[in-house]
Copies of this chain bind each other. A is one copy, B any other.
């Protein structure tokens, strides 16, 4: 970023970028599993040890930029006005989700590669879930600080993630479709006037042996 950054830090950032770039090139060429950390280190012209100094494990490099995005989002969310009810919290989170979509799809090509990697590697999907769970936790804490009850704070971020996940599933890796699909999912939440468990199910005629 800054030109007036200590040389040491600039070198670090450069090394980091080289590693990410090398890794994505290789993953794109051969897929995640067929690339070894040694391969990445060689192409990035760093030592194998150095790779692990920058990234905790091989998967981490796939999510290297999500980290910053998520932190920026939770930062902005923290600054929002107080909320107490579920609907209000979700209205805020709808905006957060919209921003998240925009950030993630900003570089369409990168997003597509990223999605392809997730599609082809279950263990990367797992790892992505960790990021989202972490985001949920942060948002939950923020909501608590801003007046929400424990129940609302626990539920709202999970619901927002659900909308995001549903949109993601429907978009199926297409960065053009994602934002609309996610927003539509939020809009659908309005249809939930009365979700009465036993009543509705009984009324629908099934599951009598509860």
Give how many A residues have a beta carbon under 8 Å from the other chain's beta carbons. Answer: 64
Pick from A7-15, A43-51, A199-207 the stretch touching chain B: A199-207
Contacting B at CB under 8 A, from A182-210, are: 183-201, 204-207, 210
If A133-B129, A195-B91, A197-B94 touch, does A205 touch B81 (CB 8 Å cutoff)? yes
Q: Is A72 an interface residue (CB 8 A)?
A: no
Contacts known (A90-B192, A92-B201, A140-B169); A155 close to B151, Cβ less than 8 A: no
- Residue of B122, B151, B158 near A162 (CB, 8 A) is B158
The distance from the CB of A59 to the nearest CB of chain B, in whole angstroms, is 9
| Known A94-B201, A162-B161; contact A87-B193, beta-carbon cutoff 8 A | yes
Q: Which chain B residue shows the least CB distance to A83?
A: B204
Bound CA–CA A194/B193 (angstroms):
9
The number of times this chain is found in the oligomer is 2
In the complex, the answer to whether B200 meets A87 with C-beta atoms within 8 Å is yes
Q: In the assembled complex, how far is the CB of residue A163 from the closest CB belonging to chain B, in whole angstroms?
A: 7
Q: In the assembled complex, which residues on chain B have CB atoms less than 8 Å from the CB atom of A122?
A: 130
- Known contacts: A189-B195, A190-B192, A190-B193. The answer to whether A154 contacts B140 by CB under 8 A is no
Chain B residues, Cβ within 8 Å of A136? 165
Q: Is A37 an interface residue (CB 8 A)?
A: no
A130 interface neighbour in B125, B158, B194, Cβ under 8 Å: B125
Name A94's closest neighbour in chain B (CB-CB): B197
Q: Inside 8 A of A167's CB, which chain B residues have their CB?
A: 154
Residue positions of A touching B, CB distance < 8 A: 76, 79-81, 83, 85-88, 90-92, 94-95, 98, 122-123, 125-127, 129-130, 133, 136, 140, 150-152, 154-155, 158-159, 161-163, 165-167, 169-170, 183-201, 204-207, 210
